Structures are given as C-alpha cells and as structure tokens.
Structure 1
Amino acid sequence: MNFSNNGIKDKYKETVSPNKKRKKKASVLFFRTFLICIVLCACIGTFAGIGIVRGIIDNAPHIDSINVAPTTFATTIYDSKGNKMQQLVGSNANRVYVNIEDIPKDLINAFIAVEDERFWSHKGIDVRGIFRAFFLGITGGGFDQGASTLTQQLLKNTVFEGGMETNFSDKFERKIQEQYLALQLENKMDKKTILEYYLNIINLGQNTLGVEAASQRYFNKNVKDLTLSECTVIAGITKNPSAYNPITYPEDNAKRRTIILDKMKEQNYITEEQYQKALTDDVYSRIELVNTEQYASKSNVNSYFVDALVDEVTNDLVEELGYTSTQAYNLIYRSGLSIYATQDPKMQKLCDDVFADESMYPGNSTFELTYRLTVIDEKGEAHNYSEMNLKKYFQKKNTAFNLYFKNRKKADPYIEEYKKHVVGKNDRIDGEVINFVPQPQVSFVLMDQYTGQVKALIGGRGLKNYSRSLNRATATARQPGSTFKILSTYLPALDTKGMTLATVFDDDLYYYPGSTKKVNNWNGEAYNGFTTIRQAIYNSMNVMAVKTLEQVTTQTGFSYLQKLGFTTLVENRVNEKTGATVSDLNLSLALGGITDGVTNLELTNAFATIANGGNYTKPKLYTKILDQTGKIMLDHTDSVSTQVMKDSTSYLLTSAMEDVVKAGTGKKLSLASVNMPVAGKTGTTSNDNDLWFVGYTPYYTAGIWGGYDNNGKQEDTAYHKNLWRTVMEKIHKPLARKEFTRPESITTAKICTKSGKLAIDGVCDHAPNGSTVRTEFFAKGTVPTETCDVHVKVPICEASRHTPSAYCPSIDIINRVYLIKSGEKAQTADTPYILPNNFESNLCPIHTNSGKSPENPEKILPNVTPNGKPSKPDTAIPDNKPSDKPENTRKKHASPRND
C-alpha cells in the first residue's frame, strides 16, 4: 500500500467517489439479499419439514386403535397328568405367552443391555441414541446404526408389520410414526407391560416367537429355568435371527453373546465372577440340534390321539360355541389355547410299545405301497400319478398284481419300471413320495367306562408319516360282525321285550323271512337245537341272533343303537344315480351286516355303556379348554350320562359275556394271569376281513380291530386277541382284583337250559346229554313261573330202549329222560335225545313170549327178535351219561350207548 501524500490523496478520492459508493451499496444489498434468501429458504425448509413430519404424524395410527400385545400363539396340549404333550402351531403362531414375573432377570437385563440401555429412563425414544446414530451416519458409519428403543421395536413388530420397507421414504415415514407412537405409548402403558409384550413378540429364529418358545426350542426347558449363559444366547439372536441362530451359526452367536456379557458387566447387571462363569460355560453343547430324532418326534407329526383330539375340539367349537370351521381352525392353531387331554401317558406308551412290536403280528404281514409322482413335461405342464396308476399299468401284464409286497425292496423294480414308462426324455420329476403301510392294520381304543374318557388310542400300525393321516380308530368305519349281536339284538331283547338269558330259541335250519337265503352259523351247518340266549351269546350263534331280532323287531334294535351313540347307521338312503334305497333296518343288523360299518371309538364306547351300568356317556378326548388368558371356553370335566338300559340288563349282558371269555369264542382273551374278570364279545366278518374284540374289566373298556385297509382274507385270525390280552394284562397288573358289581335288581333261579323254565329235580338234571340245570341270573320280576315242559321221564326197557312190554322183566325197566320236540328241519345236537314218535305204542321187540330164556323162562334174551335172531332196535335211544364236549361241538349223529 502507498502511504505517500499523493497515495493517500488518491485513496481518499477513490473512497469518496460516487462510483465507488454505488458499487459498495450494490455489494451490501446483494449480501443482505443473499442472507435474507438463506434465512427464507431455511424457514421455508423448516416449515416444509415440519409440515411433512406433521403430515406423517397425522397419518399415523391413533394410539387408542393400536394393539401392541401379541395376538397369535401356539396351542398347548396337556395329558391327564398335566404334562405337556404337544404344541399345535399355525402360521406365525409359534409363541407361548409368559408373564414378566416368570422371565428371569438375567434375560431381561441381557436384552436391555444390548438393545436399549436407557430403557428404564427414556420416555419412548432415546435422544442420545438418535444423535449418536446420526453422527455416526454423517461420519461414514452409515445410517443403519440402531437407535430404536425396545418400545419402538415393539411398535415396529406389532403395528408396522416388522418394518420391511424397501425404500428410504417409506422407512423414513415409518421411523417418524414409530417414534411418535413410542412417546404416546409410554404415557399410556407402564414399562413392565411394554417389556413383557416385547419379550413375547420378538422373532428368535427357528420359527420361534417370544422367549418361552425360544427357550423350549433351544434348551428344552421353561424360560424361567434359563441360566445367565443361556439367557445371553437367546438375547444374541435378536439382532439377526438367521445370522445369529445358535444351531446353524453357533460361532457367530457366541461372538454376539460375548458382547452382551461385556455390556451387562459394564452396566453392572452382573459381577466379574458371573461374567467369567458364563464365558467358560459350554452352552452350545446343550442346545438340541434341529434335526435330532428327539426334536423331530416332538414337533413334526401329530400322534393318532392328537389327530382325533383336534377333530373333537373343532367339532365342539362349531357345535357348542357356534364358530365356523375356519374360525375353529384358527382358534386351535393360532390362539394359544390350553387343551387338557384325557390321555394317560403311561397307558399310551404301554400301548405304543406293544403295537409297535412286529412279533405280535402275523408272519405273513406285507407292506402296501402308496405312491405319488409329479412329472413336468417339456411344455411345462404337470402330470400327477398315484399307486392306482401304477397298479393298472402292471395289471395289464399280470391281472393278479397288487400293491402288497413282502418287503420294501421288492417294490423298487416296479417303481423304477413305472417311472421309465411315464417320464419322457425331456421331462423332469417335480416330486415323488413313496410310503409303505404294513398290512394287516389295527386300531385300538382304551376307555374309562365310568367317565367316557379315552385313555389311549392307536389309529394304525407302523410309522406315522403325516399329521391328519388316516385314523383307523376314529375315522374308518368297518363292519362290526358279531359284536353287534349284543347291541342290536340281545340288549333290547332283555331290556324291553321281556326276554331273559334263559329264553330259548331253536337253533335249527333257518331262512330269512320271505327269502330263500339261509342264515348260516359261523361253524357251518352244525346246529345246537334248543338254546338259551346266554349260550347263544358265548357261542356267537347266528341263527339265534336273527331269530331273536325278529322277535325284538329291527326298529327297536336300531333305536337302541342310536341311543348308544352310533352315527354311521343308515336309516334310509337313496342312491342319486341308481335310485336304489339302502337301509340298516333289516335282520342282518343282528349280525353286524350294515351299510357303512362303525368306528372303533363308537363301538368301544357302546360296550363301555354296558360296563357302566347302562349309562351312556359320550366319549371324550379332553376335559377342558382354556383360552390364552386362562378363561374356560369348554368344560367337559364332569361326565354327563344318560340311562339307556336298565342296570339289570347291563349286568345280565356282562354275565353272559364273561362266559364268552371263560367258555366261548374268546377263551384266548382271559386275564387269568393278572386275576381280573373280563366280559366281552368277539366279532368276525365274512372271509375274516374284519377281526374284532371289545371287552371290559371292572376298570377299563378296550376295543381292537384288525384287518387289511382294502379288505382281504386273513389267515391268522388270533393276532388281535393276543394284542388285546397283552395290553390289558400290562395295564391291570398293578391293579387289585375287583368283581363286576351286581345290582340289587338281580336275582337268581334254577332253570332248565332246554326250556328256559324252572328246572324239575330228577328230570332236567338227568337229561340224556347231561344235566341241563343252571342257576341263572334274572332281573327281578322276570323269573319264570312255569316248570320245564320239554323234558319227560318215561320208563324204558334197558335192553331194547323201547317202551316196556308185558314181557320185560322189572330188573330191565329203568327211567329215562327225553326231549319233547317236533318240527326239526335239520339234524341238531338235540336230535339223538328227542322222544321218538309213537314211543308208547312202540313196544320192546326183544322181550316177547317167544324170546324167553331156556335157562330161565322169566328172563328175556337181550337183542333178539321174536324169531330169536340178533337185532338192533329200530329207534336209537341214548343213555343218560353226559358228553364231555360242548353241545355245539358234538357230532351231528350221536350213536347210542349200548350197555
């Protein structure tokens, strides 16, 4: 700068010159204008920002309209002892709610330490955390640092669907609304409640939601029992449930766990000693692997009992509470119900073990192939094939081909050949399912007859691959065979038709009324003649059952079956295609010949009704259902029974069915080894397609069925009896012997089993085929008042067995008892003992005037005719010695004793 006089003068002139002043003013004006513009832009931006934020806030849900509590939960099933059996999990519902009081402090502190260290002090948003995240963002750390409080995370998961935005603007809008609602929520709700909801709603990997489900999944224990080390494992999952999964990525979870322990120590939640102990804990060795057999067996496939239970609960929710089927399904799988089942865990395991033992089944057991194949052709079209397609393919080569194989390997060549046949060169297989179902199959139901509770259930034999698969105990209807004789025929006969166990029908050649169709006994054309209902029951005689039902009437029998709870009976059905009408109101009802069959559960429960003194109780698989809050929705704890028969009827049937096991068709089912009485009835259908036994003790009722799913003749017809006996022996082994209770309505009387009337001493007890006297049970008021009228005692000549003539010596004249009977259509067990026609006029052919003995003129020579030649009497007359064989097993033509 020039400081000379001239320089100073020049500078002064420049300063005071008008031109310079104009420039300076312009500069100042521009600067002022610039500043005003900046301030104006800032104001406009601020107001615009405030307006945008305000608009975002105005579009936020109203705090009173949102629900931050978890809404979907897994349903838990408990057995009769209160043990957790299984969980039913729907979509996004694998959650078990737990109160904050039952969550360990270490777990709470672990989440707070790593996710929101100022949780207890902030008002919903963490201002310090927000500024920290912003500073890290502008300094290059990225705007992804966590500034969300637990309150915000709760809102994100419940209100904002997890915060899955794909662009910045949506994410910004959600963040603003989330922070706004967080402030409001904390004014409305206390911290503990917010924390409780948060810990129950977070995703913790492996399809687990909430800390209780995660604790069960990873450690197989309740959350309240977690250690500090285990708590930090679960807290470490939250940041990224996939990346920090302790099963698939234990190393990464371990690093995260160490960070959490460090923070807990820094924030004085744990001591140095606790810190070191947790660090050295080999926690990952205790975590169950996802593919272990133990876990798979717990969670993947429902048992047959659970399948049946779900069906029953669904039906009751619809019928009793008015839900739709869809609503009922959502309640069961997504609403966190607590269902208390009737299953006894020890009994169920015992049954499972016995029915899983392959040695209990026929040696010729086979495996039935079920097959599914999906093929995508070169045009992208899908083609589906099943085992029936495979069967038809091979039956073109061999009409005898079926889907039964001795073992699985023998099916492989057929499967491969069929695939080559249907899969083209440019096709691809999109899916293939191969399963083998062992045959014959079985079902088993075990009940407490006094409560109607099902204690154990087997719906099939072999590995159960799917939930909701075929349940042969509850969903399959099969022909009941002779078990129905008790229910459709003898029960109403004794209960309302005035018959007794001593009532007699003639087991003889018989045709269905108005038909040429003959009623065959199970043992062919062997007929027993005069037979009581008791004998008919324990020897399972078809002719007797049909004749009895004819007197009872089919309508009465059908009505009793309905009272016993059968839902598969057909009263009248018209085939829409053919117009033909079918009905179970016919005499074949006596033999179990019905249209659709019955389920094992309903058949077993019908017999349980008899065992329960005639009181019908609907079978049940659960006692009560609680909603997620613990409120009772359905309560079936108390049994509601209906008297459907007299207690005397139930006892009479029980007594007769005890003989089924003691002396009849069910001898193999005795529980003598555990000293326990059994009553029950066998049942077998044509070609041995269905094998049944339903029986009961004073403690439990059990029914078993065995057969091929697609029907088929069985060679071994005893395996089901061995299964039933084995299970019941094991169940009753620890139980004290108990007799069936005899009601006061029962009395006794001595009757003749050939007439059903009061026995005559010296006559009925001297019947030619053995004594026919039996002390029988009767309902009071039904004891017969008349004496036997089918036995007669007459004198005969012992030598000829004819009516004595005037020449028969007194020493040869004896009394014999005969059966008075007429109109036999076929040979029966009675035939040899019937009093011959014209017996009185048919005099002894041996003792005549010309047949006197030379040595003693008064003695008549035996076995000679008047001309002195040996001869046999023209009518066979048996002696009075009883046979040592049961009546129904004697030969058709019994030869007389000649002594």
Structure 2
Amino acid sequence: MNYSKKGIENKQNYIKSTSRRLISKTRITLFRLGIVSVVVAAIVASFAGYGFVKGLVDNAPDISEIDVIPTGFTTTIYDKEGNEIETLVGAHANRVYVTLDELPDYVKDAFIAIEDERFYEHDGIDVRGILRAAVQGLKTGDFSEGASTITQQLLKNQVFEGGLETEFIDKVERKIQEQYLAIQLENKLEKDTILEYYLNTINLGAGTYGVQTAAKRYFNKDAKDLNLSEAATIAAITQRPVYLNPINFPEDNAKRRAEILKEMLEQERITQSEYDEAVADSKDVYTRIQSVDEEQDATSYYSYFVDELIEQVMEDLQSELGYTQNQASTLLYSGGLQIYTTQDPLIQKICDDVYSDESNFPEMGTSFWELTYALSIQKNDKDKTTIHYHGNDLLEYYKDYPDPDGLYVDDKGSKFSLLFTDKKDMQKKIDAFRESVVEEGDVILGEKVTMTIQPQSSFVVMDQHTGEVAAIIGGRGKKSGNRTLNRATNTFRQPGSTFKILSTYLPALDTVGLTLASVQDDVGPYYYPGTKTQVNNWTSSSKYDGLTTLRRGIYNSMNIVTVKTFEQVTPQLGYDYLLKLGFTSLVDSRKEENGDIVSDINYPMALGGLTDGVSNLEITAAYAAIANKGVYTEPIFYTKILDHDGKVLLRNKPKQEQVMKESTAWLLTNAMEDVVKIGTGKAARLNAIDMPVAGKTGSTSNYNDLWFCGYSPYYTASVWSGFDNNRPQTERNYHKKIWRMIMEQIHIEKNLETVSFTKPDSVVSARICTKSGKLAVEGLCDHYLGGNTTRVEYFAKGTVPTEKCDMHVKATVCEKSKKLATEFCPEDSVKESVFLNKEETGKTADTPYLLPSDSCKVHTEGAAFEEDPGFLDDEYEDEEPQEEYEDEQGQETNDPDPVVPDEEPDTDIIEDITDFLNPQ
C-alpha cells in the first residue's frame, strides 16, 4: 500500500468518488436482497413443506377405518381323539393367535428391548430414537438404522403392506403417514393390545408369522413354554426374517441374539444369572432347532387322509355355504379354522405300519420301481427352440440295451423298460441320456424324475355304523408331495368279482324274489345274452358244476351262475341299485371321441366289467351298507368345522338311506362269511382272533387288479393292489394277507368284544335241497348218489320254498349196464339208488348221476352178458361223490370245502365290454 501524501490523497479521492459510492450501494442492495430472498425461500419452503406434509396426512387412511388386528391364520386339523395332526397354511397365514397374558415376560421383553425400548413411554413416535438414528447417519453416512416404534411397525405390516416401496419419495410418504397414524393409534388402543397384535403379526422367517407359530416351527413347543434363550433367538429374526432365520443362518442369528440378551440385561429386564444361563445355551439352542427341522422335513407332506379331507371341505364350503372356489380356498388355508376329523389315530397307525413294512409286499423282482421322466431344454439356436423329452424317449434311446431287469422279452432277450429294480443304475441311465441331448449352450428349463414302487396299493377302513372313515392309505411307498395321486379315493379301477355281490346278488335277493337256495345250472358254453362273447368260470373253461345254489355261486365266485342270475335281475335294475349304493363313476351312456357309445348298463357289469371302474372309498361304503343292516351311510372325513372365533361353521352329518332290506343284508353277510370260511377268501380269515368276518374277493384279467372287500361287526375295509399302468401280477394273495393283518390288529389293539352278525327276526330257516332249491325230501335228497344235497338255508320271511324237491328220484339200475333195470336183470345185479332227474345241454359234474333214460339191453330174455358199455366218459370216470361237511348249524350238506387255489381273474374287463358292444 502507498502511504505517501500523494497516495493517501488518491485513496481519499477514490473513497469519496461517485463510482465508489455506487458500487458500495449496489453491493449492500444485493446483500439485502439476498437476505430477503433466503428468508422468503425459507418461508416458502416452510409453507410448501407444511403443505406437503399436510397433504400426506390428509391422504393417510382414516384411523377409524383401519384395522390392525392380525389376519390370516393357520387352520388346524385334529383327529378323532382331539390330537393335532396337521396344519394348513396359506400365504402370510402361518399364524396362530396367542394372547399377551399367555406369554412369559421375557418373550415380550426380548422384542421390546431390541425393537422399541421406550415402548411404554412414548406416544407412538420415539423422538429420541429418531434423533439417535439421524446422528448415527450423519456420522457414518448410513441412514439405514431405523427408529420405528413397535406401533409404527404394526401399522407398516397391517396398513402399508409391509413397507416394500422401491422409490425414495414413496418411502418418505409412507413414513410420514405411519408416524401420524401411530400417534392416533396409541390414543385408540391400549399399549398391551398394540403389543399383542404386533407379536401375532410379525414375520419370523421360514414362512411363520407370530411368536406362537415360530415357537412351533423352530422348537416344536408353544410360545408360553419358550425359555429366555429361545425367546431371544426368535426375537433376533425380526430385523431381517430371511437372513436371520436360525435354520439357514445360525451364525448371523446368534450375533443378533447376543445383542438382544445384552440389551435386556442393560435395561434390567433380566438378571445377571438369567443372562448367564441364556448365554451358556448359545450352541445348544441351534442344535435343537436343527433337530426339529429334520423331524419336520421328514413329515412335511400332508397324509393321504388330509389330502381327501381338503377335497371334502372345499366341496362342502361351496355346496353348503355358497363360497366360490377361491373364497373356500382362502378360508381353508388362511381362516384359522379348526377341523375335527374322523381319523382314528390307532387304526391309521396300524395301517401305516403294515404298509411301511415292505415284507408284506412282493419282493423286488416281482415288485419294481417305475420311472416317470420329463426333461425340457431350450436349445442354443437363434429361435431358442424348446424341446420336451419323456419316458418314451428313454425307451427309444435304450431300445437295443440288454436289460437283465427288463420285463419285456423278445428273441434278443430282455429289453430296457421303465420298470426296474436298481434305482442307482436307472439314475446313471438318466444322466447318460441327458448328456446325450443337452449340448453346450443349451439351458435346462426343468427336469422331473419320479420313481414309484409298483405294484401299488390302497386301503380304506370305515365305521359302517357312522360312515366315519377311520383311516386310509392312498399309496405304497414314501409320499412325494401334497395332494398327489390318492389311490384310495381318486383313482378308478375295475372291481372284478367284488361287484357280483352289489350288482347281482343284492337285487336278486332284495327285489327279484330269488334266494340263496335258488339254483342256476352251471353249464357251458354260455354267452352273455344276445352276444357271442363267452362267459367262463375262473376254475376252468371246460368243467362245470351243474345245478348250483346262489350261495355256492357267491363263495366259489362262479361267473356263469352270476351272469345267469343277472339276466333275471336285468342290467337296469342292477345299475339302479349301484346308484343307491353311492357309486358316482358309473356310466349311463357316453359318447367317446371315436364316436362309440359306451354304457355300464350291460351284462359285463355283473362281473365288474365297467367303463371307468370304481374307487376304493366308494366300494368300501357300498359294502359298509350291507354290514350296517342295509343302511347306506355317506362316508365322511370330518365331523365339524369351527371358525377362527370358535363358532361352528359346519357340522357334517352323513346322509343315510335304507337301500336294501335288513334281511337281504344279513343273508348276503351270511353267504360272504362262507367266502372267508370255505371259499375264495380263506386267506383273509382272522386266524389270530375269534371274530366273524364276511367279504368278497375280486380280480381282473392277468391279475391286473386284486381286491378284497369285507367287514366285521365293527369295521368295513377294502384293499386294492395293482400296477398303476395295468400290468399283470404274479403274486395273487398278498393283498388278502394285508387285509387280515390290519383287521386283526385293529380288533386286538382296540380290545373289541367278539360278537356275531345279528340275525334279524325277518330271517327264517328251512332245510332245502341244493340241487333244486326246494324243500328237501328225506330219503331222496339225503341219499343222492352224488352225495347228500340237503342243508339248512336262510330265507327272508315269505320266501321259503313251499314245493318239495322234484329233481331227485329213486330208480332201480342194473349195475352191469348202468341202465334202468328190467325184469330180466338178475337180482344180484340190481340196485336201487337216488338219481338226478335233469335235462342237460352239456356235460357237468351232475352228468354221472343223471337218471338213465334207457332200459338195460344187456339182460334180455335169453341174452348173454355183454361188456360194460362204458357209461362214464373220461372226464368224470374217476370222480368221487362230493364230500360232506357240516355247516355252522351242524347240519350235513353236500357243499364241499373246496381246495381253492388263488381266485383266477373273473374276466377280461375291456375285452368283455368291447365284445359285448360289438358282437360278432
């Protein structure tokens, strides 16, 4: 700076100059304008902010209209004894409500300590918490630390859909509204109520919502039974339900858990000793969680019983209460229902144990694994072509592969098939096939490999008196998913001879006027009426029993006797009875895709030849109607359903109808007792206990289907076995043994008293002749050359025969010629015997004992003795008279105890239907 006189003068002149003054004034003016602008901007911003906030507040939901009560609850299923057997969980509905007074203090305190330590002090907004979070954010640059109170979190979850906004402005808007509503909510609800709702709302990982469900999922106990260590573990999940899940991320959860315990100690919510004990459990707590998780994984799928229960409940909610399908589904999976089922835990366990024992089924080599395969790949080409491969592609790939396990054999030996015995070997083949079709750059869109044990089987047990289904087995082997194929309820199979009772003998006794003593002539060849399709007996296609009662036709499962009886019944009447017995899969008339018209109202129905078949459940219910004195009771899987508030939503009272006379039911039962005692079902006899059972066997061509349907005075049960894809079976009796084992154990373990099937007063007895079906004649029927044909038979009152047997006659025969004796026959060659006076159309077991039609030509006046003309043909010449046995009343009869091997298939069902509809 110039401090000379001249310099000072110049400086003074500059300061006093007009230009200098103008510049200064300009600067001052601009500064003042700046200050004013800042103030104005601040005022404008304040008003704008106020307007923005006011707008958000004005647009916030009305506190009087919002509902923070937790919604979406787990449906619980109970067995007949009140034990919880399953839970149904919809999206965000894995929740079981628990009240605050049911929880230990440390469960509540664990959440408060880490989420909102001043919960009981603030009015919905924690200002100190907000300032702390802001300071922390300024220090670190990370503003992720929240300051939301429990009240705000409840609002976020229940009103703002979890706070999943992606845009910053949206988050700000939600946060402001959330804080505003939090203050209002705390004026509306008590603190404890808010906390209770919160603890029942929060997401606690692994699909659980609320502390009760989390306690069950991680520790398999109720929330009220959690200890401090476990409570802290669950509270630690809240911050990040996915990444603090103690199953998948135990180490991260443990860090958060340690913070919670420390905060609880510092806030004096727990004592030092409690803290030390919880810290000492730091490792063991996660071991317990893993153990529970492994157990739950082992039983993660619904049982077959629950699968069918869901079907019935869904149907009833729609038909009884008018719900739509979506509404019914939402209520079932998210409505917190309590469903009380008919499942008997003891009976279900018996069934499960028998079916889980592979020794009860054919050995591997007769049993097989069956492969279902699907592979989808996206090719690495310009069009991104998608190709789908299935089991047939595997068959083609390995068509020349020699397979020692192959079921298909040609002149080159065994061929590869999708039925196999070695799962590891099949997996190698699958891997090799995949490698052959997937090229570099291809994308595998999906692959499904299912190996199902075959033959399969199903079992149904129900209480015939109530219609309650006690247990079901829907398949053999480990269940692979929820609501999978249920062979007990949702598959239809040909019923074979089990249908004879229902389609033929029931209406024959109940309506047509036939009796168990009525006689049909078992003789062939015999054809379905109006066709050229022959009906054969399972025992032989060339030997016939001749005159046979319906009783014998039942216990020996005789096809010709059945169809001849059905001819008198008529297919329409048989069909009508089947409808009354609850069958829904029968076909009245249907046009197929090829234009053919199919119907079950035809003669093959007598032997179980149906278009679609029947389900195990429905045929069990039909047999239960016979066991229940002729009263059909609709099978049910639950008795009542309560809503979330404990009010009765549905009561399930089964429909009942008297579909046959009580006398008919008892007569059929009595005849089917013989099936088990002396007929085709002897393998099902309950040898371990003295309990009567009645039932009927059934099988189809090549033993594709094996059935036994039967009952005791207490329970009705049916077993089915077969390959899912209708393949022949070589073992034929194992299903009857399964039925016997289960029924024996049920009656033994339930300590059921031995009782007989009660004969009603409407049934009487009479001694009849089994060759005529009429009253027996003493001295004739009991002295028949073929054996005693008398027995005590049972009848409905009013159906006892009034005529005496006219089939047996006495005649004197020359023993040399086997013809009627004449006056010329020597006295020592003449013998009086009782013969059968019958006209035959073919050779039967009766043929050797028919009354001779000619007189002796050997002995004539002056004639010499000639050689025996050989009356008996080769087929019957060595046959002995039928053995006698005593029936249950101690009466001798000529119905032998046959040596019955395995029942042969009744008929080729499909061929029978085809041949019947398209006669030659």
TM-score exceeds 0.5: yes
Distance 1:691 1:180, change over 3 A: same
Distance 1:132 1:728, change over 3 A: same
Q: Where does 1:728-877 land on structure 2 (aligned, <5 Å)?
A: 728-734=743-749, 735-796=752-813, 802-806=819-823, 815-822=832-839, 824-838=840-854, 842-843=855-856, 845=858, 866-868=863-865, 871=868
Q: Which deviates the most, 364-373 or 559-568? A: 364-373
- Which residue number corresponds to residue 81 of structure 1? 81
- C-alpha separation between the residues in 1 aligned to 2:872 and 2:253? 101
Mark the runs of 5 or more structure 1 residues left unpaired by the alignment. 1-17, 851-865, 892-899
- C-alpha separation between the residues in 1 aligned to 2:575 and 2:230? 63
- Tell me whether 1:333 sits opposite 2:324 in the alignment: no
- Which residue number corresponds to residue 697 of structure 2? 682
- Which residue number corresponds to residue 165 of structure 2? 165
- Tell me whether 1:516 sits opposite 2:513 in the alignment: no
Distance 1:413 1:108, change over 3 A: closer
- C-alpha separation between the residues in 1 aligned to 2:197 and 2:379? 51
Q: Which deviates the most, 691-700 or 465-474? A: 465-474
- Tell me whether 1:601 sits opposite 2:605 in the alignment: no
- Which residue number corresponds to residue 216 of structure 1? 216
Which SS does the other structure have where 2:639 is aligned? strand
Q: Which deviates the most, 778-787 or 237-246? A: 237-246
- Which residue number corresponds to residue 294 of structure 1? 295
Letter in 1 for 2:580: K
- C-alpha separation between the residues in 1 aligned to 2:391 and 2:878? 63
Distance 1:874 1:554, change over 3 A: closer
- Which residue number corresponds to residue 375 of structure 1? 377
Q: Which residue, 629, 636, 659 being the options, matches 1:620?
A: 636
- Which residue number corresponds to residue 541 of structure 1? 558
Shift of 1:562: 0.6
Question: What TM-score comes out, normalization by structure 2 length?
Answer: 0.87
- C-alpha separation between the residues in 1 aligned to 2:73 and 2:67? 15
Letter in 2 for 1:462: G
Residues 114-136 of structure 1 show CA distances to partners (whole Å, capped at 9, x for unaligned) of: 22223233322223333333344
Question: 2:636, 2:654 within 8 Å by CA — same for their partners in 1?
Answer: no
Shift of 1:98: 2.4
- C-alpha separation between the residues in 2 aligned to 1:212 and 1:506? 71
Q: Which deviates the most, 101-110 or 690-699? A: 101-110
- Tell me whether 1:705 sits opposite 2:720 in the alignment: yes
- C-alpha separation between the residues in 1 aligned to 2:715 and 2:562? 27
- Which residue number corresponds to residue 895 of structure 1? none
- C-alpha separation between the residues in 2 aligned to 1:143 and 1:414? 56
- Which residue number corresponds to residue 52 of structure 2? 52
Q: Which deviates the most, 429-438 or 703-712? A: 429-438
Q: Which residue, 391, 394, 407 being the options, matches 2:395?
A: 391
Shift of 1:167: 3.7
Distance 1:672 1:132, change over 3 A: same
Letter in 2 for 1:505: Q
Q: Which residue, 481, 504, 525 being the options, matches 1:466?
A: 481
Shift of 1:381: 3.2
Distance 1:377 1:540, change over 3 A: same
- Which residue number corresponds to residue 362 of structure 1? 362
Q: Where does 1:29-178 land on structure 2 (aligned, <5 Å)?
A: 39-140=39-140, 142-178=142-178
Distance 1:396 1:258, change over 3 A: closer
- C-alpha separation between the residues in 1 aligned to 2:664 and 2:176? 78
Which SS does the other structure have where 1:671 is aligned? coil
Which SS does the other structure have where 1:122 is aligned? coil
- Which residue number corresponds to residue 578 of structure 1? 594
Mark the runs of 5 or more structure 2 residues left unpaired by the alignment. 1-17, 402-408, 885-893, 901-920
- C-alpha separation between the residues in 1 aligned to 2:55 and 2:178? 14
Shift of 1:574: 1.2
Question: 2:848, 2:872 within 8 Å by CA — same for their partners in 1?
Answer: no
Q: Which deviates the most, 695-704 or 876-885? A: 876-885
Q: Which deviates the most, 60-69 or 419-428? A: 419-428
RMSD: 3.2
Q: Where does 1:619-658 land on structure 2 (aligned, <5 Å)?
A: 619-636=635-652, 638-658=653-673
Question: 1:833, 1:878 within 8 Å by CA — same for their partners in 2?
Answer: no
Question: 2:70, 2:197 within 8 Å by CA — same for their partners in 1?
Answer: yes
Aligned length: 854
Q: Where does 1:876-887 land on structure 2 (aligned, <5 Å)?
A: 882-883=882-883
Residues 57-84 of structure 1 show CA distances to partners (whole Å, capped at 9, x for unaligned) of: 1121222332222222332222222222
- C-alpha separation between the residues in 2 aligned to 1:99 and 1:733? 44
Distance 1:342 1:875, change over 3 A: closer
Shift of 1:845: 4.3
- C-alpha separation between the residues in 2 aligned to 1:651 and 1:889? 24
Question: 1:765, 1:772 within 8 Å by CA — same for their partners in 2?
Answer: yes
- C-alpha separation between the residues in 2 aligned to 1:269 and 1:59? 40
- C-alpha separation between the residues in 2 aligned to 1:179 and 1:242? 26
Shift of 1:327: 2.7
Question: 1:81, 1:344 within 8 Å by CA — same for their partners in 2?
Answer: yes
Letter in 2 for 1:217: R
Residues 189-240 of structure 1 show CA distances to partners (whole Å, capped at 9, x for unaligned) of: 3333322221111111122111111111110111121112211111121122
Letter in 2 for 1:500: T
Q: Give me the identity figure in percent.
A: 53
Residues 478-537 of structure 1 show CA distances to partners (whole Å, capped at 9, x for unaligned) of: 111011100011111111111111111111112222222221111123211111111110
Residues 673-708 of structure 1 show CA distances to partners (whole Å, capped at 9, x for unaligned) of: 122111000001112111111111111111111111
- Which residue number corresponds to residue 530 of structure 1? 547
Distance 1:890 1:198, change over 3 A: closer
Letter in 2 for 1:170: D
Which SS does the other structure have where 1:355 is aligned? helix
- Which residue number corresponds to residue 415 of structure 1? 430
Letter in 1 for 2:809: V
Question: 2:229, 2:285 within 8 Å by CA — same for their partners in 1?
Answer: no
- C-alpha separation between the residues in 2 aligned to 1:226 and 1:184? 33
- Tell me whether 1:589 sits opposite 2:602 in the alignment: no
Shift of 1:378: 0.6
Residues 826-882 of structure 1 show CA distances to partners (whole Å, capped at 9, x for unaligned) of: 2111111111224xxx25845x775xxxxxxxxxxxxxxx32566468689999964
- C-alpha separation between the residues in 2 aligned to 1:149 and 1:412? 55
Which SS does the other structure have where 1:121 is aligned? coil
Which SS does the other structure have where 1:384 is aligned? strand
Q: Which deviates the most, 213-222 or 232-241? A: 232-241
Distance 1:391 1:333, change over 3 A: farther
Distance 1:799 1:181, change over 3 A: same
Question: 2:819, 2:852 within 8 Å by CA — same for their partners in 1?
Answer: no
Letter in 2 for 1:288: I
Letter in 1 for 2:499: F
Question: 1:528, 1:887 within 8 Å by CA — same for their partners in 2?
Answer: no
- C-alpha separation between the residues in 2 aligned to 1:751 and 1:459? 45
- Which residue number corresponds to residue 670 of structure 1? 685
Question: 1:126, 1:149 within 8 Å by CA — same for their partners in 2?
Answer: yes
Shift of 1:635: 1.5
Which SS does the other structure have where 1:64 is aligned? coil
Q: Which deviates the most, 26-35 or 614-623? A: 26-35
- C-alpha separation between the residues in 1 aligned to 2:142 and 2:754? 79
- C-alpha separation between the residues in 2 aligned to 1:652 and 1:430? 61
- C-alpha separation between the residues in 2 aligned to 1:114 and 1:677? 67
Q: Where does 1:335-350 land on structure 2 (aligned, <5 Å)?
A: 335-350=335-350
Shift of 1:21: 13
Question: What TM-score comes out, normalization by structure 1 length?
Answer: 0.89
Letter in 2 for 1:777: Y
Distance 1:384 1:97, change over 3 A: farther
- Which residue number corresponds to residue 7 of structure 1? none
Residues 550-587 of structure 1 show CA distances to partners (whole Å, capped at 9, x for unaligned) of: 11111110011011111110001112x43221101111
Shift of 1:25: 11
- C-alpha separation between the residues in 1 aligned to 2:362 and 2:708? 17
Question: 1:659, 1:679 within 8 Å by CA — same for their partners in 2?
Answer: yes
Which SS does the other structure have where 1:429 is aligned? strand
Which SS does the other structure have where 1:584 is aligned? coil
